[in-house]
Amino acid sequence: MRRGISIAAISALALTMAACGSSDEAKEDTQQPAPAQSAEGDGSAVAGELTIWADDTRSSQVAELSKDFTDKFGVKVNVVQKSESDMDKEFISQVPTGKGPDLIVLAHDRLGSLVSNGVVGTVDIADKAKDFSEAALSGVTYQGQTYGVPYAIENVALVRNNQLSKAEPKSFDEMLAAGKEANVEYPFIVQMGDKGDPYHFYGFQTSFGAPVFKQDDKGSYTTELTLGGEKGEAFADWLAKKGNEKVFDPAITGEIAKQAFLDGKAAFTVTGPWNVSAFREANMDITVLPIPAAGPEAAQPFVGVQGFFPSAKTENQLLVNKFLVDYLATEEAQQKMYDLGKRVPAMPAVAAKISDPDIQGFSEAGKSGAPMPAIPEMSAVWDFWGITEVDVVTGKQQPKEAWSTMVTNIENAIKK
Amino acid sequence: MSKAKTLAPQPKLSWGQWFKELGWRHLIGVLVIIYCAVPLAYVLSASLKKNANLTGSNKLFQEVSFANYARLSETDYWHWILNSLFISSFTAVGTVLMASAAAYAFSRYRFRGREATLTFLLLVQMFPQMLAFVALFLLLLALKDVFPVLGLNSQIGLICVYLGGALGSNTFLMYGFFKTVPKELDEAARIDGASHAQIFWGIIMRLVTPVLAVVGLLSFISSFGDFVIAKVVLQTPDKFTLAVGMYNWAADSRTAPWGLFAAGAVVAAVPVIILFQFLQRYIVSGLTAGGVKG
Amino acid sequence: MDQSTVKTKRFDRFDLSWGFWVKVALMALINALGVYGLLAAWAAESYLTLAVVLVTLIIADVIYFSRRFIPAKYLFPGLAFLLVYQVFVMGYTGFVSFTNYGTGHNSTKADAITQILAQHQKRVPGSPTINTTVVEKNDKLSLAIWDAEKKAVLVGNMQHPLTLVEGAKANDKAITEVPGYQVLKFADLVKRQQEVAGLKAPLTDDPNDGFYVTTDGTKGFLAKSDFRYDEEKDELLDTTNNVVYQPNGEGAFADPEGNTIMPGWRVPVGFANYTNMAHGSDLAWPFFNALVWSFIFAIFSVVSTFAFGLLLALVFHDKRIRGRKIYQSLFILPYAFPAFLSTLVWKGMLNTKFGFINEVLLGGAEIPWLTNGTLAKVSILGVNLWLGFPYMFLICLGALQALPEDIMEAAKIDGAGPIRTLFSVKLPLILVSTMPLLIASFAFNFNNFSLIYMLTGGGPNYPGASLPVGETDILISMVYKIAFEGGSQNYGLASALSILIFLVVGVISYFGLKRSNAMGED
């Protein structure tokens, strides 16, 4: 045998080479233009294809929707499944390289951060604007510019177990009373978790007149905090009181709240449309109601807008426009998205056709809602907000002091 | 099992002796198994429940339905598991080869920069990888222009990334082991005219089988469970590994299909256990030790 | 071909064995691949890749075709992968730590300008959507628009404002023919999408009057941009109020009063990311707490998992135990499950009220496992022991194999009991071979972000603290919160903190390794 042959080392390299044998991998490359395909009847070929990022829940819906688009326009669409929790971060870091996706499906509250990073492109939907609800449009609009096309609106509402109660409470106390009559473990249950859940609690907070940021006369959020002050502290007091009565409990996570409601242990809960299918599968008889006010004013839950947003550096600008304006902004596509995802449609014309009482209930509850702030400052708020709610509910901190410290901390965090 | 029996031909012990020698070991074993198994029983129970949760489903095995397992076929799960097996197997083999080659060089040769290289290997792994995704993305992007097969969304590209971490602690594990193989063995072979490759393949590698098996297993498990790097590299569901796919399921806690998730995890543990069963006899065989002595 | 250091005649003439051919074949492949890579890199104009491929290839050829460099033959493959995939990542992080890369500063200046202009380009209120078409003349694109009032077709592009073209054919749906120009079909447009998307046909010479743009080639509208960029002066002008914005040296355009417009771009900021940390006084005490806890967590995790793993390995090393294989297989179960799943399960099981541990095992006790500071730390260590001991068990099992049996026998003959043998003979030997692994495990746990993040999220938080950091935050999870959750993503700062953590852990490990003498002579 010949000496000096380090077969081990070389075989390791051979792995790399085996790799290169399978050159078909390269052909599947999503970034490359697809082979020409026939398009819209004129017999000419369309080069190019679209890549869309969507999270686990929506990727199959978007893939289904895209099939119709491909049939109609002859443009291939690749749907890439991304993890919900960090797809926006990846979008922000990948778009500047020019290799990100063409479109991303997101809830609108992350729009502000995409805009200030310059990674989201603009869309002109002036012609279709009248077809969309105002709330949906405002979701894809940021500082007067439109950046996407909405397809659904999502918000939480009060869900009632009809076997346990028939009440349609207008106030929180009415609801608790009605729930107590049902004589179950939880008259009312809402998820909190050890980090708090200001999103689910927001309806109650706004009923005390303490929205998170001030809205200007056009309805856009400014960076002026309004969750503090007397009204905010009144909410904190109420939280402390209800925490003391064990109405709220950080040990109740989303799963526990859902399960308790499913098991018929709770008469009322605050939750979103994402849990409705589970309630139905369990053959529950439920009604979706607006959130009852805990304070003197109306309860306004956060309304999130789901939309498709283009990349600022897409190489397929025309196809993107075709997809967004000529396809997604049509009743047909919006109806399809509803059929696939069962969320309140962004087009009133589509919404009008819906007979599903639960979706209608969410739609009704969302009418009084306030859009989720999309400004990047919002992300400085969540942590302090949730944790303070937990501390107040558990009695770890005095409500008034806790609340005003929280406001100061958030203000400082925003300034940074 | 059978081997353990044949290897232990022992005179009958009295009960007291038996307990003193072996029985207490069984006691510890059972206790540890309980410690290991409680959370896993919980996962198993959740996987058998239609609408499962990871919190509060405290009455174990109340419901036994294989619906979640059946539903795995409706997803890309089986595809992912094949991807994972492919990636992890190649990573494990590559890691074993590279690390053992490196350990051979370190244990048998004194060369300039030897200690510096060893120190460097150890220090490189101290680096917090949290921000790796930005750099990794750029690197694979650049590679894609030249070697498309090593670029983004390529499983072979991912294997290469894993092999980038092959040396690290594995080299040290092997190095410690290689040192226990007496040098007289290879010196004798060398005098007989054997080349360094012959010594490496013919003598050393045969004597260190246990550690090769350990490193292979460790490498297999770590690439099998990794999702941090894999989710940057692999972009389309048909390329995903098990960990990436399941991480995506769990990412949105509002809609996460925990039952499916639990079933997926139970199935995912099977390859690792089978592999361990297979490698166990290498890891704990006393044969190699005898070989060294002889 | 290379030779071993000692050669004898007997082996010298064994040429051309299969090993040789394997080597030749592999080297041929590597060279083919390398040359392919060089050509591809040249074609793709990625010269850095080209240089790296070239150097690697030359080194590989020198090492494997030379008779010298025997250790290098064994080290090269692993090191090559290491340098490309790990050292590059470290270097890049180091580079980022000297920039302001993060929210608002994540791309180039050119991108930022394009984006600012695009974000401020809007349809003129009330202007209708009209039919357009893209036409070509001498390979230059122009936009043709249908003017409904004049009932005429106008053509223009950035160089030439819209002018009327006689004799064009158009109907309500589309412009079909423009004399002197070729009308492009959709498929052609798609091929030149970026050109088409950037196509602007100004009304007049004054861009403030607005310009027509097209969305998909066939439809367009009159748009106006509130901002204009002056390339020579390198400044942005807000045409609505005539405010001038100039680069402020920090990677953004700013007006004279210092108001900036986003997005900005990445610029080097020197040591700012490092010095800023020293100044943030509100960071001082959470930082100190996190530092102390990081050490406790990492050290205790290593010691506990190692002790437990070793104990099990010793106890079950005895070949007489029936069902030994079954025990051993069950012990590695925690390791066989994906760690993030196990962590999520533990989190559920440790829930104060509804967790399995409290509700079932402890009969309804409401012990705040994860929400009380001290208990949360204990829980984390407990969970990490569960997650980590199988690794140590496997390693110790391997290490026990390596113990020379003659030493054990010698100890027995000297009359040492099993406990003494363990502590004075076995343990030191095992420690020597596993010390580097223990140090690596220390480093891994020091940076074990995902466990902390998934189990407690760093909580419980310090009530009213000015940073959302908690009692169980280790350094790396604190870095994550400061850099990524406080309203923006600050890669520059996070990179700087990562580098610092690396230095701390690196120095400790280095000295630990020196003392253990694990690298030295055997």
Whether the CA torsion B153, B159, B164, B169 is positive or negative: it is: positive
Q: Are residues C494 and C363 in the same domain?
A: yes
- Mean predicted lDDT score pLDDT of chain C: 85
Would you tell me which residues 268-327 of chain A have a C-beta closer than 8 angstroms to some C-beta of chain C? 312-313, 315-319, 321-322, 325-326
Q: How far is CA A154 from the centre of its chain?
A: 7
**Which of B64, B88, B120 delimits the end of a domain?**
B64
Q: Are residues C176 and C319 in the same domain?
A: no
Q: Which of B22, B122, B190, B244 to mutate to test binding with chain C, by most C CBs within 10 Å of its CB?
A: B122
Would you tell me which residues 122-181 of chain C have a C-beta closer than 8 angstroms to some C-beta of chain B? none
Residue B275 lies in a domain: yes
CA distance B237 to chain C (A): 19
CA distance B120 to B111: 15
The tokens for A145 are 């510019």
A292 has pLDDT over 80: yes
CA distance C204 to C161: 5
Q: Are residues A396 and A338 in the same domain?
A: no
Residue B267 lies in a domain: yes
Interchain CB contact of B224 with A (< 8 Å): no
The tokens for C519 are 């690298």
Least confident of A11-15, A369-373, B250-254, C381-385: A11-15
Residue B36 belongs to what domain range?
Answer: 17-64
pLDDT given for residue C282 in this prediction = 67
**Which of A370, A388, A403 delimits the end of a domain?**
A370
Residue C137's DSSP bridge partners are C140
Residue C162 belongs to what domain range?
Answer: 122-246
CA-nearest residue of chain C to B283? Answer: C398
A219 has pLDDT over 90: no
Q: Which residue among C26, C75, C193 sits closest to A315, beta carbon to beta carbon?
A: C193
Beta carbon pairs, B and C, within 8 Å: 362
pLDDT given for residue A6 in this prediction = 39
Least confident of A227-231, A296-300, C256-260: C256-260
Give the number of domains in chain B.
2
Q: Say whether C334 and B36 touch across the interface (CB within 8 A).
A: yes
Q: Are residues B272 and B217 in the same domain?
A: yes
Residue B80, C-beta contacts closer than 8 angstroms, at least 6 positions apart: B240, B241, B242, B244, B245, B246
Q: Within 10 A of C483 (CB to CB), how many other CB atoms are there? A: 23
Q: Are residues A261 and A396 in the same domain?
A: yes
Whether the CA torsion B174, B175, B181, B186 is positive or negative: it is: positive
Q: Which of C442, A16, C440 lies closest to B168 in space, CA to CA? A: C440
Q: Are residues B83 and B170 in the same domain?
A: yes
CA distance A15 to A9: 10
A18 has pLDDT over 50: no
Confidence (pTM): 0.86
CA distance A364 to chain C (A): 32
Backbone φ and ψ of A282, nearest 5°: -85, 10
Residue A38, C-beta contacts closer than 8 angstroms, at least 6 positions apart: A44, A45, A46, A74
Contact A106, A88 (CB under 8 A): yes
Q: Say whether B100 and A8 touch across the interface (CB within 8 A).
A: yes
* Neighboring chain B residues of A86 at a CB cutoff of 8 Å: 251
Q: Are residues B162 and B244 in the same domain?
A: yes
* Neighboring chain C residues of A326 at a CB cutoff of 8 Å: 216
Greater confidence (A8 vs C379) lies with C379
Whether the CA torsion B126, B129, B130, B131 is positive or negative: it is: positive
CA distance C79 to C75: 6
- The CATH number of the domain holding residue B260 is 1.10.3720.10
Q: Are residues A362 and A383 in the same domain?
A: no
Low-confidence ranges of chain C (pLDDT < 70): 1-17, 278-283, 486-487, 517-522
CA distance A344 to chain B (A): 17
Most confidently predicted of B56-65, B131-140, B159-168 = B159-168
Interchain CB contact of A16 with B (< 8 Å): yes
Residue C274 lies in a domain: no
Residue A44 lies in a domain: no
Q: Say whether B273 and C40 touch across the interface (CB within 8 A).
A: no
- The CATH number of the domain holding residue A288 is 3.40.190.10
A39 has pLDDT over 60: no
Residue B1 lies in a domain: no
CA distance C255 to C233: 14
Q: Say whether C327 and B33 touch across the interface (CB within 8 A).
A: yes
Beta carbon pairs, A and C, within 8 Å: 231
Q: Say whether A89 and C23 touch across the interface (CB within 8 A).
A: no
Q: Are residues B267 and B225 in the same domain?
A: yes
**Identity of the residue numbered C225:** S
Q: What is the pLDDT of residues B67-88, one digit of tens each?
A: 999 999 988 899 999 999 999 9
* Mean pLDDT across A266-271: 96
Q: Say whether B56 and C354 touch across the interface (CB within 8 A).
A: yes
Q: What is the pLDDT of residues A233-242, one digit of tens each?
A: 999 999 999 9
Q: Are residues C365 and C509 in the same domain?
A: yes
Considering chain B, what percentage of its residues have pLDDT values greater than 90?
A: 23
CA distance B136 to chain C (A): 7
Q: Are residues A291 and A171 in the same domain?
A: yes
CA distance C179 to chain B (A): 42
A20 has pLDDT over 50: no
Q: Say whether B248 and A56 touch across the interface (CB within 8 A).
A: yes
Greater confidence (B91 vs C403) lies with B91
Q: Which of C359, C346, C360, C427 lies closest to C388 in space, CA to CA? A: C346
Residue C440 lies in a domain: yes
Q: Say whether A96 and C30 touch across the interface (CB within 8 A).
A: no
* Neighboring chain B residues of A1 at a CB cutoff of 8 Å: 195, 197-198
Greater confidence (A21 vs C463) lies with C463
Would you tell me which residues 227-256 of chain A have a C-beta closer than 8 angstroms to some C-beta of chain C? 249-253, 255-256
Beta carbon pairs, A and B, within 8 Å: 134
Q: Which residue among B39, B196, B277 sits closest to C329, beta carbon to beta carbon?
A: B277
Q: Say whether B148 and A59 touch across the interface (CB within 8 A).
A: no
Residue C154 lies in a domain: yes
Interchain CB contact of C433 with B (< 8 Å): yes
Q: What is the pLDDT of residues B24-46, one digit of tens each?
A: 888 888 999 998 888 889 889 98
A347, A350, A351, A355: CA torsion to nearest 10: -170
B7 has pLDDT over 50: no
pLDDT given for residue A26 in this prediction = 37
Q: Are residues B27 and B145 in the same domain?
A: no
pLDDT given for residue C517 in this prediction = 64
Q: Is C515 exposed, middle or buried (0-12, 13-18, 19+ CB in 10 A)?
A: exposed
Whether the CA torsion A123, A125, A131, A133 is positive or negative: it is: positive
Give the number of domains in chain A.
2
**Which of B49, B64, B79 delimits the end of a domain?**
B64
Q: Residue A43: pLDDT band by 50, 70, 90 thresholds? A: very low
pLDDT given for residue A19 in this prediction = 38
* Neighboring chain B residues of C78 at a CB cutoff of 8 Å: 98-99, 101-102, 163, 166-167, 171
Q: Are residues A262 and A406 in the same domain?
A: yes
Q: Say whether A383 and C465 touch across the interface (CB within 8 A).
A: no
pLDDT given for residue C389 in this prediction = 94
Q: Say whether B147 and A1 touch across the interface (CB within 8 A).
A: no
Greater confidence (A204 vs B288) lies with A204
Q: Are residues A362 and A285 in the same domain?
A: no
pLDDT given for residue A198 in this prediction = 95
* Location of structure tokens 């389309």: B236
pLDDT given for residue B242 in this prediction = 92
Residue A89 belongs to what domain range?
Answer: 49-154+304-370
Q: Are residues C495 and C372 in the same domain?
A: yes
- Mean predicted lDDT score pLDDT of chain A: 86
CA distance A413 to chain C (A): 7
Contact A52, A80 (CB under 8 A): yes
Q: Are residues B179 and B214 in the same domain?
A: yes
Residue A42 lies in a domain: no
Interchain CB contact of B71 with A (< 8 Å): no
Residue C264 lies in a domain: no
Q: Residue B17: pLDDT band by 50, 70, 90 thresholds? A: confident
Q: Are residues C341 and C198 in the same domain?
A: no
* Neighboring chain C residues of B168 at a CB cutoff of 8 Å: 440
* Neighboring chain A residues of C70 at a CB cutoff of 8 Å: 4
Would you tell me which residues 44-103 of chain A have a C-beta closer than 8 angstroms to some C-beta of chain B? 55-57, 59, 78, 80-86, 90, 93-94, 97, 99
Backbone φ and ψ of B23, nearest 5°: -55, -45
Q: Residue A7: pLDDT band by 50, 70, 90 thresholds? A: very low
Residue C115 lies in a domain: no
Q: Say whether C468 and A250 touch across the interface (CB within 8 A).
A: no
Residue C165 lies in a domain: yes
Interchain CB contact of B153 with A (< 8 Å): yes
Q: What is the pLDDT of residues A359-370, one digit of tens each?
A: 999 999 998 899
CA-nearest residue of chain C to B127? Answer: C502
Residue C177 lies in a domain: yes
pLDDT given for residue C192 in this prediction = 86
Q: Residue ranges of the alpha helices (H) in C46-121? A: 47-65, 70-82, 88-96, 109-119
- The CATH number of the domain holding residue C28 is 1.20.58
Interchain CB contact of A199 with C (< 8 Å): no
Q: Are residues A321 and A225 in the same domain?
A: no
Interchain CB contact of B251 with A (< 8 Å): yes
Chains that touch B (3 or more CB pairs under 8 A): A, C
* Mean pLDDT across A109-132: 91
Chains that touch C (3 or more CB pairs under 8 A): A, B
Least confident of A166-170, A293-297, C325-329: C325-329
